[in-house]
Amino acid sequence: VNEPALLLADEPTSGLDDENAHRVLDLLMEQSDRWEVTLVVASHDDRVRLSITDSYEL
């Protein structure tokens, strides 16, 4: 896959401390902007949801 339409991340911060969780989320958001793709993050952690600009809760 050379030009994906989606960047999927399932529980990307699970088991990480706050500092590294923040770094991972920043990296994911930077890459989705850089590649101009939609970022989909699945997480049970409300802090993750709140740190992402556009989020939807199911």
Instruction: Determine the average pLDDT of the residues in 43-47.
Output: 85
Q: Output the 3-class SS for 16-50.
A: CCHHHHHHHHHHHHHHHHHHCCEEEEECCCHHHHH
DSSP-based three-state secondary structure for 6: strand
pLDDT of residue 55: 63
Return the half-sphere exposure (C-beta side, CA atoms, 13 A cut-off) of residue 20: 6
**7-32 pLDDT tens trace:** 999 999 999 999 999 999 999 999 99
pLDDT of residue 49: 79
What is the bridge-based pairing of β-strands 38-42 and 6-10? parallel
pLDDT of residue 2: 77
pLDDT of residue 24: 96
**Residue 1: band (very low, low, confident or very high) from pLDDT cuts 50, 70, 90:** low
